[in-house]
Structure 1
Amino acid sequence: MERFSLGDAAELAGDVGPDPRLIGVVAELDRPIELDALRALIAERLPDQPILARRVVRDGPATWKACWETVELRVEDHVYEVPTSDPLRTATDLVSTDFGHRVPAWRLILLRGPQTSALLFAAHHVLLDGATAVGVVGSLLGADLTVPMPPARRRRFLGFLGLLAGANAGVAKTSLLTPITAGFRLATVDAPLAPVQAAARRCGATVNDALLLAAAEALRAVAAARGEQLGRVVFSVPVTGQAHPGRQVGRNEVAAMAVAIPDPAGRDDAAQLVRIAGRTRWRKLLAHGFPSAGAFAGVLALLGRLGWYRPLFSRQRAITSLLTNLRGPAEPLNLLGAEVTSLTALSPALGNVTVVFAAVSYAGTLRITARLDRSVWPEQDVLTSTLANSLDRLAGSAGSPQRTRTR
Structure 2
Amino acid sequence: MTGERVGAGDLVEWLTDVGPAPKQVGALLVLGGSDIDVMDVERVLVERFGKLRRFGQRLEQSGRGRPRWVDAGAQSVAGQVSRLTCPAPGDQEALLAVATAALTRPLDRSGPLWRAEVVDGLAGGGVAVVLVLHHVLADGLGGLAVLSRLVDDSSEPVPAGGVVGAPGAPRGSGAPRPVVLPADASAVRVRRRVGAPRTSLNVPTGPRRVTVVVEADLATTKAAGRTRGATVNDVLLVVVAGAAGRLLRARGEDVDALVVSVAVATRAPDAAHGLGNHVGVMPVRVPLHGSAGDRLAAVTRQTRRHKGHARRTSTALVRPLFRLAVATGTYQRVIENQRLVNIFLTNMIGPTSPITFAGASVERLVPIVVGAGNVPTAFAALSYAGTLTVSVDVDPDAVPEVEALTAALNDELQEVLALAPPEPS
TM-score by structure 1 length?
A: 0.87
CA RMSD between the two structures: 2.6
Quick one: distance in 2 between partners of 1:150 and 1:327? 12
Query: Any idea what the Cα deviations from partners look like across 1:180-203, whole Å, max 9, x if unmatched?
Result: 111111111111111111111232
Secondary structure in 2 matching 1:95:
helix
Is structure 2 residue 141 aligned with structure 1 residue 138? no
**Of 185, 196, 204, which aligns to 2:210?**
185
Is structure 2 residue 89 aligned with structure 1 residue 83? no
Secondary structure in 1 matching 2:400:
helix
Q: In structure 2, what residue type is equivalent to 1:319?
A: V
8 Å CA contact 1:5–1:251 kept in 2: the answer is yes
- How far is the alpha carbon of 1:247 from its aligned partner? 10
Quick one: distance in 2 between partners of 1:230 and 1:246? 41
- Alpha-carbon distance change, 59 to 327 in structure 1, aligned in 2, over 3 angstroms: same
Quick one: distance in 1 between partners of 2:268 and 2:305? 20
Quick one: distance in 2 between partners of 1:166 and 1:285? 11
- Alpha-carbon distance change, 369 to 376 in structure 1, aligned in 2, over 3 angstroms: farther
**Of 373, 383, 395, which aligns to 1:361?**
383
- Identify the structure with the greater helix proportion: 1
**Of 226, 231, 256, which aligns to 2:256?**
231
Query: Any idea what the Cα deviations from partners look like across 1:327-386, whole Å, max 9, x if unmatched?
Result: 111112222342222111111211111111011111111111111112355322221112
Aligned to 1:272: 295
- Give the fraction of aligned pairs with identical amino acids, expressed as a percent: 30
Q: In structure 1, what residue type is equivalent to 2:249?
A: A
Aligned to 2:228: 203
- How far is the alpha carbon of 1:91 from its aligned partner? 1.2
- Alpha-carbon distance change, 87 to 359 in structure 1, aligned in 2, over 3 angstroms: same
8 Å CA contact 1:187–1:369 kept in 2: the answer is yes
1:26-175 matches, within 5 Å, as 26-31=28-33, 33-46=36-49, 49-59=52-62, 65-71=66-72, 74=75, 75-85=77-87, 86-113=94-121, 115=123, 116=125, 117-142=127-152, 143-147=156-160, 150=170, 160=184, 163-164=187-188, 167-168=191-192, 169-175=194-200
Quick one: distance in 2 between partners of 1:207 and 1:237? 13
Q: In structure 2, what residue type is equivalent to 1:144?
A: P
8 Å CA contact 1:165–1:258 kept in 2: the answer is no
Is structure 2 residue 417 aligned with structure 1 residue 399? no
- How far is the alpha carbon of 1:44 from its aligned partner? 4.1
TM-score by structure 2 length?
A: 0.84
8 Å CA contact 2:115–2:131 kept in 1: the answer is yes
Quick one: distance in 2 between partners of 1:55 and 1:20? 17
8 Å CA contact 1:8–1:126 kept in 2: the answer is yes
The answer for unaligned runs of 5 or more in structure 1 is 152-158, 402-407
- Alpha-carbon distance change, 12 to 234 in structure 1, aligned in 2, over 3 angstroms: same
- Alpha-carbon distance change, 248 to 166 in structure 1, aligned in 2, over 3 angstroms: farther
Quick one: distance in 2 between partners of 1:55 and 1:262? 45
- Alpha-carbon distance change, 166 to 44 in structure 1, aligned in 2, over 3 angstroms: farther
Any runs of at least 4 consecutive aligned residues in structure 1 with deviations exceeding 4 A, and if so which? 70-73, 148-151, 244-248
Quick one: distance in 2 between partners of 1:165 and 1:245? 31
Aligned to 1:156: none
